[in-house]
A and B are shown apart, each in its own frame.
Chain A
Amino acid sequence: MNRSFYLDLARKGSGMVLATDLVLKEKANPEALLNNGVELGKIILESADRYDLPLAFPFMDLSLEKQWLLTLLGIEESKIEKFHFDRNIDESIILQVEEKLETKSTARVKATCDALRYVAENSDKLTVGMCIGPFSLMTKLITEPITPVFLAAMGEEPSDDASVRNVEIVLQLAELIISQYIRMQIAAGAQAICICEPAANKIYISPDVMMEDEADIFDRYVISIHKRLKKIMSAHDVDLIFHDCGDITPLMLKKISTLHPVILSLGSPVRLWHAVSVVPKDIVLFGNLPTKQFFMDETISPERVEELSNELLVKMKETGHPFILGSECDVLSVNGYEKTIQHKINIMLNCCKHWQ
């Protein structure tokens, strides 16, 4: 794809929202729909149509890759959700996954790929694939990943510390499964892939152990792996949309920017008008109203949503950086608060229209 497609969207003052979950939860039996590719594809398109988006984003299901990986390792389905590698593991586990990776997937993986195929074949929207980032997947697979990552940053080697070794093996597993999932989504018609790496943040990686150079833990455990994933995409002319809604530091942001995504989607902890100082001008910044808080008027009123939208639009316009106003993450449906959330999304998108 051409980077100018995304830059044009920003130039037009478009607003964007990742709200497939909102549409999905309006349906009867949404859980069953997650396994039905065609129906899921229709929901993705319904969401894109409702919010007048030229990009069709799938449901941000960040449990899918964990389920797939553990299925390949023979973990019982009922135990997958809470499963963590809490014992020492060795590298033979990688071989176990490699052997089955290309022939065995799950119903959810198949349905998501079928949904993308449906979108690609039945609309002129840009078909966006979605996956979790390897670092975030690792954090879902290790009982307590923070300490080993910290120790690794302080110079502990996998040969010295079993917990560091576990993290590094699980990162390799994560990269394997995600690479394969990306290939499958590309084969299904994805023109861009949104990689969600919310755990690459200062909770999991302590800012006081980060360095500017490439020996840094953030480079080793996050960026270098993403560079390999991007190569897979670039080989098929597929664009990278990078999403990290975590609380990140300017140095983390600078390192993420080296991936040179077409869109960089950030969470509300980041002041976007400050972010522009480290993000190159040909990367569209997207976000980042606190949509996770939209469900309660007491926390964020409709008037406040309008105020925040306008503030972001004004400040970003002043920076001259390409920008699309939108949600900080996938907007999840909250039972009983659906109308409140919807109302605030409409306010946010209407603010964009006023500025167009």
Chain B
Amino acid sequence: MESELLQKLTECVELGKINKVSPFPPQMKGQDGADELTKQALESGISAEQVLESLVKGMSIIGDKFSAGKAYVPNMLMAAKAMSSGMAHLKPFFNSGEVKRKGTFVIGTVFGDLHDIGKNLVAMTVEGAGWEVVDLGVDVKPDKFLSAIEKNPGCVIGLSALLTTTMGNMEMIVKEIKSKFPAQEILVGGAPLSQAFSDKIGASGYSPSPQGAVALLNRMVE
């Protein structure tokens, strides 16, 4: 019964079933979603850690499908929404320390750039992999990243840019961060970027995909 419930929860995240009233996916219309099932699981005495594992597993399955080109951005978004609806019930357990995150990831699109799809996808995937995510939004200036580092000691910074014209701003932010926090880990990503550019500006890592970003982050805390 317990494993069946957890398995169903994983499926809800993978397929993007948020709650009972959500119409997607059509084959699950009218059924409980991640919201109700998480609540039921916790009420039935399943540990918060096991519930989290099931949610993370669902995100991981859809993330792998996305990386393999077998799922698309909308599928990822629906899955992330289902994940969030479950995570909301886990908040008290995070606050009490009963369940621990892998670390904190602070992400933002660099100043001058208003694009957020890539950033959001990475944020959702990283959160779905068990990290706490602080999303600074778009058009983020260096001082905002600096103050986020001060507020979240030990965090990893993620910089996103979609435009070639704003990549220079990314370089500027990396320089500013490194001048105050030389050991700060910084990941970069975005359509026009490359490993060569990441190396050139002194970032700690580059990933062309959200799943790649998770892999880089997990390696940092291993």
Binding site for B on A (CB under 8 A): 81-82, 144, 146-147, 149-151, 154-156, 160-161, 202-204, 206-209, 292-293, 295-296, 298-299, 332-336
| C-alpha spacing A95/B44, complex, angstroms | 54
| B window 99-145: CB within 8 A of A | 114, 117, 120, 138-139
Q: What B residues does A204 contact at CB under 8 A? A: 73
Q: What A residues does B72 contact at CB under 8 A? A: 202-203, 206-208
Is B211 an interface residue when CB atoms closer than 8 A count as contact? no
Establish whether residues A146 and B77, one from each chain, have CB atoms under 8 Å apart when the complex forms.
yes
Q: Is the interface of B mostly helix, strand, loop or mixed?
A: helix
Is B213 an interface residue when CB atoms closer than 8 A count as contact? no
Establish whether residues A149 and B139, one from each chain, have CB atoms under 8 Å apart when the complex forms.
no
Establish whether residues A296 and B168, one from each chain, have CB atoms under 8 Å apart when the complex forms.
no
Give the shortest distance, in Å, between A124 (CB) and chain B (any CB): 32
| C-alpha spacing A156/B74, complex, angstroms | 15
Is B194 an interface residue when CB atoms closer than 8 A count as contact? yes
Give the shortest distance, in Å, between A292 (CB) and chain B (any CB): 5
| C-alpha spacing A203/B192, complex, angstroms | 16
| Listed stretches B53-61, B159-167, B179-187; interface member | B159-167
Is B154 an interface residue when CB atoms closer than 8 A count as contact? no
Q: What B residues does A293 contact at CB under 8 A? A: 164, 192, 194
| C-alpha spacing A332/B164, complex, angstroms | 7
Give the shortest distance, in Å, between A268 (CB) and chain B (any CB): 11
Closest 6 CB pairs of A and B: A298-B196, A150-B74, A206-B72, A206-B74, A299-B194, A203-B73
Is B197 an interface residue when CB atoms closer than 8 A count as contact? yes
Instruction: State which size class the interface on B falls in.
Output: 20 to 34
Establish whether residues A298 and B197, one from each chain, have CB atoms under 8 Å apart when the complex forms.
yes
| C-alpha spacing A144/B115, complex, angstroms | 11
Establish whether residues A334 and B167, one from each chain, have CB atoms under 8 Å apart when the complex forms.
yes
* Residue in contact with B192 in the complex, picked from A146, A202, A292, CB distance below 8 Å: A292
- A sample of 8 inter-chain contacts (CB < 8 A) reads A150-B24, A154-B26, A202-B73, A203-B73, A206-B72, A206-B73, A295-B167, A296-B196
Establish whether residues B24 and A151, one from each chain, have CB atoms under 8 Å apart when the complex forms.
yes
* B200 (CB) vs chain A CBs: closest residue: A298
* Chain A proximity mask over B54-76: 1 for CB below 8 Å, otherwise 0: 00000000000000000111110
Give the shortest distance, in Å, between A113 (CB) and chain B (any CB): 25
Q: Please name 12 further chain A to chain B contacts, defined as beta carbons within 8 Å, in addition to the given A154-B26, A202-B73, A292-B164, sorted by A numbering.
A: A82-B114, A146-B73, A147-B77, A147-B78, A208-B71, A208-B72, A296-B196, A298-B194, A299-B194, A332-B165, A334-B167, A335-B165
| C-alpha spacing A149/B72, complex, angstroms | 13
